């Protein structure tokens, strides 16, 4: 799928597969150097900052954004998502063999007999004292609420180098509180939607994390795709 790369040297045609064919930094080297996995956050937002229309993200993307999400997701060892995102659907199985899906839930308000748990791709990230049924794979982090920083460390302890965080907004806010993502892949949907829907992050403490623009693209429907790295 073709997109247009924007740069000071002028626009140039490329493909989603080429534009998102590799993480912005080497996850294995990052993990070895920092002691924590490489975290890439991939999201879409409207021009006025909403990540959902009437609590549903489905009207925001187009086919190009779907291809971007699929390509970025395929690079990761594990997908990290909130329970509400699983309930909305779209995470029935991993995008490639060997990849896992880590579902964050403090309350365990989930159908653990359904996908992605039933397929064997999914496992839980929950609190230290949560009553997890036998047979469910689990990473524990935090006492009353899941501590995402410790959860990410727990994923690293399992040998995962590259984590793809994909929302929702509260999970993104927790990732921000844990030190911000190492990479942000942000799509801007050419819509103004109004309302008081969720932003890219929600519930995070006020902070000032600086990112550096690595690449920017646009498609024929005026969707803007940007890749950012942590400075």
What does the pLDDT look like over 108-166, one tens digit per residue? Answer: 999 998 889 988 999 999 999 999 999 999 999 999 999 999 999 999 999 999 999 99
CATH code of the domain covering residue 80:
3.40.430.10
For residue 46, the cross-strand partners are 189
Cis-peptide into 168, omega within 30 deg: yes
- Looking at the predicted structure, is the pLDDT value of residue 188 above 70? yes
pLDDT per residue over 165-175, tens digit each? 999 999 999 99
Measured from the Cβ of residue 70, the count of other Cβ atoms closer than 10 Å reads 13
Mean pLDDT score across all residues of the chain: 95
Instruction: Count the residues in the chain.
Output: 231
CB atoms within 10 A of CB 10: 7
Dist. CA 47–CA 36, nearest whole Å: 33
Q: Which tokens belong to 84? A: 């509400």
Spatial separation of the C-alpha atoms in residues 42 and 29, rounded to whole Å: 21
| Domains contained in the chain, number | 1
Q: Give Cα 28 to chain centroid, integer Å.
A: 18
* pLDDT of 53: 86
Instruction: Give residue 31's domain range.
Output: 2-230
Residues 6+ apart with CB under 8 A from 213: 226, 227, 228
Q: Does 57 have pLDDT greater than 70? A: no
**pLDDT, tens digit, for every residue of 89-106?**
768 889 999 999 999 999
Is the predicted pLDDT of residue 182 greater than 90, yes or no? Answer: yes
The answer to whether 189 and 220 are in contact (CB under 8 A) is: no
Burial class from Cβ neighbours inside 10 Å (0-12, 13-18, 19+) for residue 144 reads: exposed
């Amino acid at each position: 799928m073709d997109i247009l790369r924007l740069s000071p040297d002028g626009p140039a045609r490329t493909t989603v597969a080429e534009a998102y064919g590799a993480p912005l930094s080497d996850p294995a080297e990052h993990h070895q150097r920092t002691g924590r996995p490489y975290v890439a956050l991939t999201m879409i937002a409207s021009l006025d900052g909403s990540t959902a229309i009437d609590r549903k993200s489905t009207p925001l993307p187009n086919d190009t954004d779907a291809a971007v999400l699929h390509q970025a997701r395929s690079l990761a060892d594990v997908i990290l998502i909130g329970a509400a995102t699983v309930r909305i659907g779209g995470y029935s199985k991993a995008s490639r063999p060997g990849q896992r899906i880590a579902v964050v839930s403090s309350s365990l308000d989930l159908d653990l007999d359904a996908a992605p748990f039933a397929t064997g791709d999914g496992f839980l990230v929950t609190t230290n004292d949560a009553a997890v049924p036998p047979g469910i794979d689990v990473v524990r982090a935090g006492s009353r609420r899941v501590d995402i920083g410790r959860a990410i460390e727990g994923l690293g302890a399992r040998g995962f180098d590259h984590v793809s965080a994909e929302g929702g907004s509260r999970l993104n806010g927790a990732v921000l509180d844990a030190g911000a993502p190492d990479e942000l892949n942000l799509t801007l949907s050419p819509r103004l939607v109004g309302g008081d829907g969720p932003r890219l992050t929600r519930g995070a403490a006020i902070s000032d994390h600086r990112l550096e623009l690595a690449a920017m693209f646009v498609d024929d429907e005026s969707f803007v795709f940007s890749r950012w790295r942590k400075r």
